[in-house]
A and B are shown apart, each in its own frame.
Chain A
Amino acid sequence: MLSQITLPARLENLRQCLEFITDYAEKQGFCPKRISQIELAAEEILVNVFNYAYPETEGEVKVIVGSERGSRMFIRFEDTGVGFDPLSAAAPDLNSDISERSIGGLGIFLARKFMDQIHYCREKDRNILTLVAEPKAESEISL
């Protein structure tokens, strides 16, 4: 079963997009901790789209959710903005001390950590980013 929502790619629509995704995950029986991780990964992707996809114009983001083999869930984000692969960003700085610490790339890093798979492709005029999350039990999730 697929479900989708399309909204203007603006920060004010963040919560609505996230609720759409977390409601679906809840219906699929994902545990609260896993849902929180999915929500975080989805926020990082959406905020990237809101901030960078449409620098000069207004545009939309489409979110499609579904589940494969009745277990793992995928979330697909599509926009028709500037072509950009967020997965190509440099790894964040995780070790330097507070005065040198910068925060670039951290959002995508967290999304990668929490999701089982993350893919990007450019199809015609679209950026397509897909997250795949297995419904892990709470006890199976560790650092």
Chain B
Amino acid sequence: MELNARKEGDALVVSVKGRIDAITAPDFEKYLTEQADKSGKSLVVNMKELYYISSAGLRAVLGAAKKLKEKQGDMMLAEVQETVREVFEIAGFSTFLKIFDTEKSALEQI
């Protein structure tokens, strides 16, 4: 798994590459939480190159999204691959996480 972050106006865009399984999920959550602490506002997670996520990864996303929410921030997902998106949808995450087809459309919501 590879992670990086960059600023886009008021928002922070985190890109995640590879896979989020039970092994990489703790690092992913730690990174997202640190970025959420820094930005305090909206976080867009670009999942264009994320090919696999398990429930451990969902737990990490939920944990970071909760932290952001406490600070009135918002987490958005963008460019999620079909197989990964299906996992989010089956798990019912689309009820509280906004998923956008492009990073640009996510940023326009801020």
Chain A residues packing against B (C-beta within 8 Å): 11-12, 14-15, 18, 33, 36-37, 39-40, 43-44, 47, 50, 92, 94-95, 97-99, 101, 103, 106-107, 109-110, 113, 143
Contacts and interface: CB of A to CB of B under 8 A. Distances in A.
Nearest to A35: B83
Contact of A14 (B21, B82, B91): B21
Interface in B46-95: 51-52, 54-56, 58-59, 62, 65-66, 69, 82-83, 86-87, 89-92, 95
Contacts of A47: 22, 54, 56
A39 B90 contact: no
Interface residues of B, number: 25
Contacts of B69: 98-99
A110 B96 contact: no
Nearest to A102: B62
Nearest to B61: A103
A50 B21 CA distance: 14
Interface of B: 21-23, 51-52, 54-56, 58-59, 62, 65-66, 69, 82-83, 86-87, 89-92, 95-97
Given A14-B23, A33-B83, A103 B58 contact: yes
B87 A101 contact: no
A14 B59 contact: no
A98 B86 CA distance: 19
B56 A95 contact: no
